[in-house]
Structures are given as C-alpha cells and as structure tokens.
Amino acid sequence: MEDRERDARIRYAVEHTQVFRPPRQTLATFGATVLRYHLVSQPVYADLDFAGQKEETVVRDGVVRADRPQVVTPFYLARLEGFSESASRYLQNLIREYGPHAPGLLYSYKNEPSGTSIVSGSVNEVANRIRESLDREESPLESVILGVDELWDVSVMKFIFELTNASARSNFSELQSMGLLETRNGVPEDARRRIEWMLEQARNGNLDPSVLHRELERWNLFEEYQDRFLGLFRKH
C-alpha cells in the first residue's frame, strides 16, 4: 500500500470516529488512570450482499492505562531515544521558540485489547445499549467509541488524543498550583521529586539503577547526583 493511500485511510478513520460516551472524569494529575473502552464498528463484510443478512456490529473491548503525567522540557525530550530526524528538528524549533527549559506535560499510554464480539443490531443501536448500561452502572471511567473496523486502533488513538486535550489544562493547573512546574537549573520540581522517588526505589531493590541512570542523563543531572547514585552500589 502506498503512503498516500495509507494516509487517506487514516484520515477516513479519524473523520469517522466519534466518542459516543466520553469518560465522566479526566485523567488524574497525580496518579495512573485506567480507562475501559467499548469500540463499536460496522464489520468489514457489511458491504457484501448476503441474502437475508441481518445487521451486525463488532464490539471491541479494551483498557487504556495512562501513567501519571510527567513534567518535561524541550531539552529533556531532545535527549530521548528513538526520534526521527524530522521529530528532532521539530524539537529544536520548540527550543528556539520557547527555550530549552519551558515545562510541558508528557503522557504515556498502554492499550490492552481484551476481546472482540459480534452482536446483532446496527452500530447506533448497539452503542446506545452499551451507553445506557454504563449510565445505569454509573461507570465514570468507561467509554463508548464509534469507530472504523479495519483501523480500529486509529479510532482508539483519536479517543486518547481527545481525552488528553480535555485533561491537559486541569493537570497543568494542579501541578502549577503545587509549584511542581517551577524549574531549578533547568529542571522542573516535579522531575526532581521523581528522581528522589527513583533513588528510593533503586535503594530498596524495586528499580533497576540503569533506569535511574538514564533519567539522570536525560536531565543532565548525573554529576549532581553522582555520589548518591554510586552509593547504591556500596556494601553496607
């Protein structure tokens, strides 16, 4: 499949995805959030002409786990591995526009599909049934998404993107009110608290020190924390 055709299909999936029942809560600022979704879509075979065929809908269930938002800066992002040349150029533009130490939020997600079923009824009928059930159960962290069957993961991604946009302002405001966006030597207070937590976890054997080392290097803080980091390997 050519890139142009692939891009067109992705645009189609995005344009035809609707969050039918959004979660009643935004993403937590100071902890992880577990969101359950029910993605309903018309099956790919729906356009085939079968005599006496009844309307059916595909329902995909899954969970999106959102980590606690992490305060980062363009400087930090530029030191992460795995960025393409184009992404790196974009980060350099951010640094020029906002400065290397302007705080922002980094959201991390994990999508865990849990099952697929085919049920009778149209997409709207099935979506309404699920929504009514969730409303009766008062499920604040469950959603219904109208998506595109063959590109259902793109539909989930749009759901995540919209939820992030809806959550970012309140997350940012709460972190700011607690002084966690204030920077010292280019490092936000939230990042320093995270490093302290990682030091404690590594000291107790709950975190591989190499993970802590990478985080210190990304913030260019290894020299500042060198004695405490090396102390993890001293025998008591």
Written as tens digits, the pLDDT of the chain (236 aa) is 677 888 888 899 999 999 999 999 999 999 999 999 999 999 977 665 554 568 899 999 999 999 999 999 999 988 887 777 777 787 888 888 889 999 999 999 999 999 999 999 999 999 999 999 999 999 999 999 999 999 999 999 999 999 999 999 999 999 999 999 999 999 999 999 999 999 999 999 999 999 999 999 999 999 999 999 999 998 65
Domain extent at residue 128: 1-69+107-181
Is the residue at 220 inside a domain? no
Which of 139, 171, 158, 215 lies closest to 28, judged by CA?
171
Is the residue at 93 inside a domain? no
Given phi > 0 = left and psi -120 to 50 = alpha, else beta, which region is 33?
beta
| Other beta carbons less than 10 A from residue 220's beta carbon | 14
Is the residue at 149 inside a domain? yes
Is the residue at 4 inside a domain? yes
Q: What pLDDT shows up at residue 235?
A: 64
Is the residue at 11 inside a domain? yes
Q: Which pTM was predicted?
A: 0.83
Which of 201, 202, 194, 205 lies closest to 230, judged by CA?
202
What's the domain count of the chain?
1
Q: Which amino acid is at 65?
A: R
- How far is residue 78's CA from residue 224's CA, in Å, rounded to a whole number? 20
Is the residue at 231 inside a domain? no
Is the residue at 142 inside a domain? yes
Is the residue at 147 inside a domain? yes
Q: What Rg value do the Cα atoms of the chain yield, rounded?
A: 22
Q: What pLDDT shows up at residue 173?
A: 96
- How far is residue 229's CA from residue 209's CA, in Å, rounded to a whole number? 8
